[in-house]
């Protein structure tokens, strides 16, 4: 038995023996939600003279992490108005006993500055990083497109369930059975903080990376009960739990009266108190959220979309939707809310064939266009639409017919898009320039399941933005590939546009690109020379084999083949003189005689 897995809990009620079982059940229920209590791991001491509990108990878990989490979550827990839990680690008793009777000033430790967590942004080659999780290893690498290969940064066997970058790329988060951790630094990727939340399933960062949200869902013992969602909000830098939402009854999803299942991040569902929300999303530029509420009355209460102003919670606009069920629209059309215009007018965009199925829809980042894949045949159509000006109708740019695509991936900088045929479409990729309305390249990545643009819009996984295949990375048991995000630029849109128009003026990499191209050219020449040597060697070997074959053919009276089974057996009669003997014969009259 390990002492550091025990906890002493004060604040329990002093009850007689007949109420002992009830109190033990209450305490066990509270602490069983945090971790697995060992068999005979709950002990309440009893005062022999009164046969009452002493007001405290001991609990032992299977792991130290669960015991630490129990202290963190229940210290100060109000059992009722008169009883508040005070939780201590069992090891704390030794530490308390060693406290000296006289006060001594604490030792002053010199300040040591921490590592610059944004150091990777100062890379002299302006490269981007990505993380690969394959097998038991997690690797961080530079994308060195000039040298056509990845440059390793860090590798470690984390033993995690998955990894995730923070929104601005400062931290790499790993999710484990006992909770989450964040790592960072220039090259060392030291562990910066740990967040204890056993059996954590999902995590999410706040947009400014100040908070980390962890999520678990407890399945009920009774199938008719709802799943219970537990959410913790941590301060990223200190690791302190800022808020524990696990005890709120509102955090139950599924069952009667609600939408079955849960979608991450579940945390977003409770920013505004609205019953039966199916989904919602933030505006990319304004503090406005769009809520989708499904049809809950069998047709009597239609589905609706609402625009809500935050933080005032004022409903700016509402639209009832008919013939809508479970997010599957049976009537094909788009209703666009112009939130920048007075009274938020709604514009309807219908497809030519109203029965077409919508396969994918995606807005252009940093732009005003969108793309739609629609149709029911194996090769659906792709259309691009845009708003040509304020107070004008949405107009169609073009329609691309018969594309092997079921997913759309815009470049983060806009303008370029990848039309991808994932999974069942065998990884067909088309790199398309929407400004010029032309295809730049097509490629294939057999059975591809995901496409990832780098944060600058220059690379797609290991393709360039215009579809040039740069290099290949082979990994067994690949689980994740994630580009490291970059913080937003400090430049104004006007300044970015001015730089784009005068890119050569600001370019500082032309000399480096030339220096890289020279050794690459030399490598190509060396590769060609080696190929020519191999070719000449093969030709010489072939000539030698051919000459030997001619000699054998000559010996076989012109038979060309060396294969015995190709010969035909024939019977031939051959007369051959075996031996010659000379004898002298004497001839006499009337008869012969032999000498």
Which pair of tokens denotes residue 540? 């010489």
Q: Is the pTM of this model over 0.85?
A: no
**Confidence at residue 428, expressed as pLDDT on a 0 to 100 scale:** 86
Contacts 24+ apart (CB under 8 A), 82-85: 83/11, 83/12, 83/13, 84/11, 85/9, 85/10, 85/11, 85/12
Contacts 24+ apart (CB under 8 A), 232-235: 232/195, 232/197, 234/195, 235/210, 235/211
User: Rounded to an integer, what is the distance from CA 461 to the centroid of its chain?
Assistant: 13
* Three-state helix/strand/coil letters over 525-589: HHHHHHHHHHHHHHHHHHHHHHHHHHHHHHHCCCCCCCCHHHCCCCCCCCCCCCCCCCCCEEEEC
**Confidence at residue 303, expressed as pLDDT on a 0 to 100 scale:** 76
**Confidence at residue 211, expressed as pLDDT on a 0 to 100 scale:** 94
Residue 161, Cβ density class (10 Å: 0-12 exposed, 13-18 middle, ≥19 buried): middle
- Contacting residues for 58 by C-beta, under 8 A, at least 6 apart: 6, 7, 8, 9, 42, 43, 90
**CA–CA distance, 561 with 574 (Å, rounded to integer):** 25
**Confidence at residue 526, expressed as pLDDT on a 0 to 100 scale:** 77
**Confidence at residue 258, expressed as pLDDT on a 0 to 100 scale:** 29
Q: What angle do CA 325, 328, 330 make, to 5 degrees?
A: 90
For the chain, residues with pLDDT lower than 50 are 1-4, 247-263, 266, 269-270, 325-331, 388, 595
**Confidence at residue 235, expressed as pLDDT on a 0 to 100 scale:** 94
């Amino acid at each position: 038995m390990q002492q550091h897995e025990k906890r002493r809990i004060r604040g329990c009620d002093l009850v007689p023996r007949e109420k002992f079982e009830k109190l033990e059940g209450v305490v066990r229920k509270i602490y069983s939600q945090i971790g697995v209590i060992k068999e005979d791991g709950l002990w309440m001491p009893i005062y022999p003279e009164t046969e009452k509990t002493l007001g405290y108990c001991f609990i032992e878990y299977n792991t130290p992490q669960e015991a630490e989490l129990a202290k963190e979550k229940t210290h100060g827990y109000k059992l009722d108005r008169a009883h508040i839990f005070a939780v201590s680690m069992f090891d704390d008793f030794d530490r308390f006993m060693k406290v000296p009777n006289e006060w001594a000033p604490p030792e002053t430790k010199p300040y040591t500055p921490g590592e610059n967590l944004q150091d990777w942004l100062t890379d002299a080659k302006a490269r981007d990083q990505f993380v690969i999780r394959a097998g038991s290893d997690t690797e961080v690498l530079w994308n060195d497109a000039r040298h056509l290969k990845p440059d390793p940064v860090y590798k470690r066997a984390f033993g995690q369930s998955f990894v995730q970058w923070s929104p601005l790329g400062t931290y790499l988060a790993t999710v484990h059975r006992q909770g989450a951790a964040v790592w960072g630094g220039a090259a060392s990727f030291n562990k910066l903080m740990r967040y204890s939340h056993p059996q954590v399933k999902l995590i999410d960062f706040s947009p400014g990376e100040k908070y980390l949200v962890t999520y678990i869902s407890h399945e009920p013992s009774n199938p008719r009960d709802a799943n219970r969602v537990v959410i913790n909000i941590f301060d990223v830098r200190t690791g302190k739990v800022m808020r524990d939402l696990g005890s709120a009854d509102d955090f139950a999803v599924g069952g009667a009266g609600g939408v079955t299942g849960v979608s991450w991040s579940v945390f977003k569902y409770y920013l505004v108190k609205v019953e039966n929300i199916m989904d919602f999303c933030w505006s990319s530029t304004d503090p406005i959220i769009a809520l989708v509420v499904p049809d809950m009355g069998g047709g009597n209460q239609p589905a609706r979309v609402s625009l809500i102003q935050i933080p005032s919670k004022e409903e700016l606009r509402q639209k009832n939707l008919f013939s809508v069920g479970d997010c599957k629209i049976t009537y094909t059309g788009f209703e666009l809310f112009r939130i920048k215009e007075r009274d938020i007018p709604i514009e309807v965009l219908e497809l030519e064939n109203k029965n077409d199925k919508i396969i994918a829809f995606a807005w252009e980042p940093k732009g005003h266009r969108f793309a739609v894949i629609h149709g029911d045949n194996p090769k659906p159509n792709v259309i691009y639409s845009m708003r040509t000006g304020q107070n004008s109708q949405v107009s169609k740019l073009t329609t691309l017919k018969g594309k092997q695509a079921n997913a759309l991936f815009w470049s983060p900088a806009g303008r370029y898009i990848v039309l991808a045929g994932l999974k069942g479409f065998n990884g067909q990729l088309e790199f398309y320039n929407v400004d010029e309305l032309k295809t730049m390249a097509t490629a294939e990545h057999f059975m591809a399941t995901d496409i990832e643009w780098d944060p600058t819009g220059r690379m797609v996984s290991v393709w360039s933005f215009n579809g040039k295949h740069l290099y290949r990375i082979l990994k067994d048991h690949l689980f994740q590939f994630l580009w490291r995000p970059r913080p937003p630029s400090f430049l104004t849109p006007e300044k970015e546009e001015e730089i784009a128009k005068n890119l050569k003026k600001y370019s500082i990499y032309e000399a480096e690109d030339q220096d890289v191209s020279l050794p690459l050219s030399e490598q190509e020449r060396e590769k060609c020379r080696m190929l020519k040597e191999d070719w000449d060697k093969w030709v010489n070997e072939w000539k030698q084999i051919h000459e030997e074959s001619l000699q054998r053919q000559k010996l076989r009276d012109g038979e060309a083949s060396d294969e015995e089974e190709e010969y035909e057996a024939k019977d031939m009669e051959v007369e051959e003189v075996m031996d010659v003997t000379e004898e002298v014969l004497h001839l006499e009259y009337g008869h012969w005689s032999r000498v």
